[in-house]
Chains A and B, each alone.
Chain A
Amino acid sequence: MADRNEIIMIGPKNKTALRESFGSWLFLSPALIAVLLFLILPAGYVAYISLFQSTIVNPTNRYIGLANYGSLLRSASFGNAMIHTIVFAIGVTIVVVSMGLALAVQLDKNLRGTRAFRVIFFLPYVFPLVSSGLAFMWLLQPQYGLLDSLLTRLGLPAVNWLGNVHTALLMVIAVTIWEYLGFYMLIFLGGLQAVDVNIKEAAAVDGATNRTIFWRVVIPSISPSLFFALVISVVQAFQAFDQIYIMTQGGPVTATTTLTYYIYTQGFQFFNMGKASAVAVLLLILLTGLTFLQFLLGKKWVVIDN
């Protein structure tokens, strides 16, 4: 009887707990199932496909181990794509971080017209990348575009900016900078606005020049947003596709083929899903590595005082 009593006493409590836990999982499960199904499990599956030789109808036709990776490392086209991606990432990151910070510093002064400038600089960010790409294509149109019109007026030869292997990647970098500059400017503005005014004033009282205050007080204080911006910008560069597809389709030849574009051509033009998946796995490793690096270094690098 004692046992029975105990069971009766525990029973309802367990049932409430069970109901509570079931109810709680209902909150978590829609998002969890969605990301598991379309992001996390596919990340595992892409690694699996990368071990196979594919045919058009069957992506997992024949198991070949790491042969896809081996052939990638030996392939010049993959090496090229890697180099283009790195150039793209460095080019975009250097400009959006330095220019974004420079603009944010000016806007943080709270001058008259600040809000209007903020809107102008951020405006390109809401443009679809395809639209930004098209606008630049017209600007760079050989002969009749604005740039070439000006050049010919000055008596200089017109340049086929997107059709030339030496300038095409630069132009794709330019449109990407144009698109994202305002976004980074706002991130830095957020960082600058959070800097403690008292520390700046104390430094000024101690006789520090504006330049010293900027490098010794402001920069260390906003180091978290700087680091965040750096990583996001590189991650974004590794995923670039839309602007490349519309402007150059990876060309001329392969001058603007970056890693993501390379995966696309391998998978959806040559139907070599195995090889495309191997590149995707390398991309995943690179990106998760970078994000972990942000997490680890972010903690140490963030300087803020004692």
Chain B
Amino acid sequence: MRHGPGSHWGSYIFLVASGGVVLLPILWMVMGSVESTTAMFTGHIIPPRLDFANYPHAWASAPFARYFLNSFGTTIAIVFFQVATSALAAYGVVFTTIRGRNVAFGLILLSMMIPIQAIFIPDYILLSDLHWINTYQALVIPFVGTGFGVFFLRQAYLKIPREMVEAMKMDGGSHWAIFQRLVLPNTVPSMITLALLNGAFHYGYLFWPLLVTESNAYRVVPVGLAYFLAQDRGIHWNQLMAANIMTVIPPIVAFILGQRYIVKGVLSYGSKG
């Protein structure tokens, strides 16, 4: 049942005011990105004239093409590995009967409580012993397994009717066949949700790439932006905002395309507690 605005002015005033506050930094960023450098430092609020040259200037002032390529490549690789390892492990937890699978699941759940911010020193030492610092492996390999992914897909697998699995087993279907032909095709939305949520996170992640990259060849966009800012301390805010907008466009597009998957995924945290 939908209601018109008539009886709900209070709700609308609250929503519009809050929405305005949320949109304000975005609007200010867009306005900054089309201001000329001289106009920027005159203290006005609406730009007197639109100047789109900041975009090509920003793009040329740092190797952004390389940063974006690195960001897309590593994000896609991380997400691919995470969905694959999580789907396999969730299957192992839900549908196999081996001894020790609960211990394995317990360990995987335990790992959800350990943030990389607390254990990055040993991880860094391990990668540096492998001579992996400043490589793509260093950006991808530490993240191929995710406790959250296993947990999340397990929820979806628990909803698959047991009888269907048993029927396939009766017909002589192997675990691999059941996984491939029954479980995977029936849980595509959950895999997309997981890929989008974790993909958005890893695309934007600064902390780890900052530690393990030392040259532009391997830097990703967030690190590139941080360097751009450091080199140009508060002069070309217009170019910084242009670069910033180019940075946020890919996740916004992904969000708009995959909105129903993301929203459904996060809503489900709430309904399950």
Which A residues lie at the B interface, using CB under 8 A? 20-21, 23-28, 30-43, 45-46, 49, 59, 99, 102-103, 106-107, 109-113, 117-132, 134-139, 141, 143-146, 149-150, 152, 178, 181-183, 186-194, 222, 224-225, 227-228, 235, 238-239, 241-242, 245-246, 260, 263-264, 267-268, 273, 276-277, 280-281, 283-284, 287-288, 291, 298, 302
Contact = CB atoms under 8 A, between A and B. Distances in A.
A49 to B, nearest CB: 6
Nearest to B30: A135
A132 B241 CA distance: 11
Contacts of A127: 204, 248, 251
A31 B146 CA distance: 7
B206 A242 contact: yes
Contacts of B97: 24
Contacts of A143: 43
A130 B108 contact: no
A112 B4 CA distance: 6
Interface of B: 1-5, 8, 11-12, 14-15, 18-19, 22-26, 28-29, 32, 40-45, 84-86, 88-89, 91-93, 96-99, 101, 104, 107-108, 110-111, 113-123, 125-126, 141-147, 149-150, 174-176, 179, 200, 203-207, 210-211, 221-222, 225-226, 229, 234, 237, 240-241, 244, 247-248, 251-252, 254-255, 259, 262-263, 266-273
A206 B119 CA distance: 55
11 contacts: A35-B108, A46-B122, A118-B263, A121-B18, A186-B270, A190-B266, A190-B270, A224-B273, A235-B115, A239-B117, A277-B121
A103 B120 CA distance: 36
Given A138-B28, A138-B241, A188-B270, 6 more contacts: A39-B114, A42-B119, A46-B119, A122-B263, A134-B244, A288-B113
6 tightest Cβ-Cβ pairs between the two chains A and B:
A34-B145, A190-B270, A224-B273, A128-B204, A27-B92, A190-B267
B240 to A, nearest CB: 6
A30 B84 contact: yes
Nearest to B270: A190
Nearest to B5: A112
Contacts of B42: 144
Contacts of B91: 27
B229 A246 contact: yes
Contacts of A39: 111, 114, 116, 119, 145, 147
B88 A45 contact: no
B114 to A, nearest CB: 5
A131 B248 contact: yes
B88 A49 contact: no
A187 B22 contact: no
Given A110-B1, A128-B248, A190-B271, A28 B19 contact: no
Contact of A245 (B44, B99, B174, B226): B226
B221 A128 contact: yes
Residue with the highest number of chain B CB atoms closer than 10 Å, among A42, A102, A150, A186: A42
B26 A34 contact: no
Contacts of B8: 109, 111
A179 B113 CA distance: 22
Contacts of A283: 115, 117-118
A135 B29 contact: yes
Contact of A128 (B89, B142, B150, B203): B203
A79 B266 CA distance: 35
A238 B115 CA distance: 10
A102 B176 CA distance: 47
Contact of A134 (B19, B40, B142, B229): B229
A128 B144 contact: no
A181 B121 contact: no
A139 B24 contact: yes
Contact of A268 (B84, B113, B211, B226): B211
Contacts of B226: 130, 245-246
Contacts of B146: 31, 35
A141 B206 CA distance: 22
